[in-house]
Structure 1
Amino acid sequence: MSQQQQTKKGASVLIHPKRCKNCGICLEFCPQGVFAWSADSVVEAVQPEKCNLCRQCEMRCPDFAIFVQEIA
């Protein structure tokens, strides 16, 4: 009998600062609460470990400033 090992996959969430206009759409659509406002009113990915790879932020970003990659 063989055992299968399950590995939890994570995500890398990158915000391209020159493209992002801080509209907040990613904050509104992220079901996991990955994003938050910084003290400087800039959107940051503060909890990328919560990302479930739905890519709603990436799809809805009007400036193509967010990139989500799966990491093993």
Structure 2
Amino acid sequence: MYPFYIDPKLCKKCGLCIEFCPTKVYTTGKDDAPKVEYPEKCISCKMCFYRCPDFAIKLKPEVA
């Protein structure tokens, strides 16, 4: 289960989440924004969560 969501208001589209995801869950979507393409590949390592400089990747409330 992919336990995160991306807050589009905080995301500055830097691409760090795409770059550091070891299982390549993300792809580049509209306007260069990260898009969750393969949620089933997520291993919940939190690399995207920790690397996001703007805290745009959040833990879903039902998981927290």
Same fold by TM (over 0.5)?
yes
Instruction: Structure 2 unaligned segments of length 5 or more: list them.
Output: none
Q: CA RMSD in A?
A: 1.7
TM-score by length of 2: 0.83
Equivalent-residue separation in structure 2 for 1:68 and 1:48 (angstroms): 14
Bigger helix fraction: 2
Who is 1:19 aligned against?
Answer: 10
Instruction: Structure 1 unaligned segments of length 5 or more: list them.
Output: 1-9
The ranges of structure 1 where at least 4 consecutive aligned residues each deviate by more than 3 angstroms after the TM superposition are 68-71
**Number of aligned residue pairs:** 62
Bigger strand fraction: 1
Equivalent pairs: percent with the same residue? Answer: 45
TM-score by length of 1: 0.75
Q: Report which of the two structures shows the higher radius of gyration computed on alpha carbons.
A: 1
